[in-house]
């Protein structure tokens, strides 16, 4: 049986992740691509296997034992997500495929129902494409327009400029809790207060926040909050949209089909109440089960302990990486977690990522689905190292040695 942790120990935690014992190109794996996806602990893997071995059935309406067991597991995960995000009600949690689908759901339902020509959607220059493109689609369909709040050279939202861009025309403000490309922790509670003061609704992209920070959607006062399971040690293909009850109740369905209906006839259809209204068809039941196991795992390890460990690791990495001749750190906010983007001399980030892979070090290289941010910073791409609860200072030192080797190849 996998361990249950009473106190945080990175050495103990690492034993829960089977993939960390893998070797890549003859070297011990150093996995520093956690902002793209995190690795999965044995507890999550076992929960998924157990579901398929013992309880696999379709949920809801089934009267046989397996269907009732699967339904109980699915509903228990919704309650776990409610607690994890600090939502008030069970019904405010909608299961989706991930953060991207959560944002698309809001854009396609709330957006199309509430936006009209002349309305404005306020974004920021650091947003992930998933928090840009859905709003471009709905703006084109409704006649609304997108307004963009600027970002400083340090990679921080310019809050005063954000405030100036809020007007009676602003109907929605959407922004990341944590930047996936820079690691900047944004003042989401303050931004939400400003947006609400202007009469706008607020959507927070929480994909990069939930693995690192304790989130309370009621304290933030987010109208919508989106997260992905695979960023927080859960399976791919599952995520959560939190929405305030009054908003979800008023929104039209996202898709049609089974399980989102109350009554169907050829004359018309009566829809189910939320969250079922937004969960058409057979969902990713095993993924939802795995998500619950992931959130329970994080809670057992302790989010505060995880945050403290990752903060110490990020500070250490910023220091030792900053000593490498020719390195340029991208994103230097004092409020930062889990992500370090950088350039090294004239080495293209893709070449750097390939060279590091020969040393067993996995990083990300590219624009990180944040091309407007790269344009703002005047660069095409960066190399990005991103940390999780299982990473160590020794792994940072392996990264540093690998970067020196890369320098030698290009000198």
The contacts of residue 21 (CB under 8 Å, 6+ apart) are none
Domains contained in the chain, CATH given:
10-40+302-410 (3.90.1150.10), 47-299 (3.40.640.10)
What number is the average pLDDT over the span 177-197? Answer: 98
Active-site residue list: 369
- Residue in 48, 45, 49, 73 with CA at minimum distance from that of residue 59: 73
pLDDT (0 to 100) of residue 1: 37
Tens of pLDDT, residues 206-247: 999 999 999 999 999 999 999 999 999 999 999 999 999 999
The contacts of residue 102 (CB under 8 Å, 6+ apart) are 94, 96, 224, 226, 227, 239, 240, 241
pLDDT category, 7, cuts 50, 70, 90? Answer: low
pLDDT (0 to 100) of residue 411: 75
The contacts of residue 314 (CB under 8 Å, 6+ apart) are 183, 336, 337, 338, 339, 340, 387
Is the pLDDT reported for residue 6 higher than 70? no
Is the pLDDT reported for residue 5 higher than 80? no
Tens of pLDDT, residues 10-20: 999 999 999 99
Residue percentage of the chain with pLDDT more than 70:
98
Tens of pLDDT, residues 308-321: 999 999 999 999 99
pLDDT (0 to 100) of residue 3: 45
Give yes or no for a contact between 362 and 29, defined as CB atoms under 8 angstroms apart: yes
pLDDT (0 to 100) of residue 261: 87
What number is the average pLDDT over the span 280-294? Answer: 97
Is the pLDDT reported for residue 369 higher than 80? yes
Is the pLDDT reported for residue 169 higher than 50? yes
Burial (CB count <10 Å: 0-12, 13-18, 19+), residue 197: exposed
């Amino acid at each position: 049986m996998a361990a249950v942790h009473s106190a945080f120990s990175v050495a103990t935690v690492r034993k829960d992740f089977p993939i960390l014992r893998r070797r890549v190109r003859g070297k011990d794996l150093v996995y520093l691509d956690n902002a793209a996806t995190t690795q999965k602990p044995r507890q999550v893997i076992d929960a998924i296997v157990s579901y398929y071995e013992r309880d696999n059935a379709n949920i809801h309406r089934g009267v046989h034992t397996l269907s009732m067991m699967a339904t109980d597991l699915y509903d228990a995960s919704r309650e776990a997500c409610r607690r994890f995000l600090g939502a008030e009600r069970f019904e405010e949690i909608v299961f989706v495929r991930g953060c991207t689908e959560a944002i698309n759901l809001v854009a396609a339902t709330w957006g199309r129902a509430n936006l009209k020509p002349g309305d404005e959607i306020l974004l920021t220059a650091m947003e992930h494409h998933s928090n840009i493109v859905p709003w471009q689609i709905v703006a084109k369909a409704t006649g609304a327009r997108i307004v963009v709040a600027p970002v400083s050279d340090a990679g921080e939202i310019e809050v005063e400029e954000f405030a100036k861009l809020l007007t009676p025309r602003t109907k929605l403000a959407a922004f990341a809790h944590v930047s996936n490309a820079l690691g900047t922790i944004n003042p989401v509670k303050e931004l939400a207060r400003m947006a609400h003061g202007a009469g706008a609704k607020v959507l927070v992209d929480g994909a990069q926040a939930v693995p690192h920070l304790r989130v309370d959607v009621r304290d933030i006062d987010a109208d919508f909050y989106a997260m992905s399971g695979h960023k927080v040690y859960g399976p791919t293909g599952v995520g959560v949209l939190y929405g305030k009850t009054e908003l979800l109740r008023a929104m039209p369905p996202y898709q049609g089909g089974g399980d989102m209906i109350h009554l169907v006839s050829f004359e018309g259809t009566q829809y189910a109440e939320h969250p079922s209204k937004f969960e058409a068809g057979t969902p990713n039941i095993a993924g939802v089960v795995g998500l619950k196991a992931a959130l329970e795992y994080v809670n057992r390890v302790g989010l505060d302990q995880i945050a403290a460990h990752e903060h110490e690791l990020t500070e250490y990495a910023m220091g030792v990486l900053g000593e490498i001749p020719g390195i340029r750190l991208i994103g230097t906010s004092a409020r930062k977690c889990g992500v370090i983007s950088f350039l090294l001399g004239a080495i293209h980030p893709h070449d750097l990522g390939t060279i590091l892979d020969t040393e067993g070090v996995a990083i990300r290289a590219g624009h990180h689905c944040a091309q407007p941010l790269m344009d703002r910073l005047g660069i095409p791409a960066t190399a990005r190292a991103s940390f999780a609860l299982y990473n160590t200072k020794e792994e940072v030192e392996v990264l540093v040695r690998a970067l020196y080797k890369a320098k030698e190849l290009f000198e």
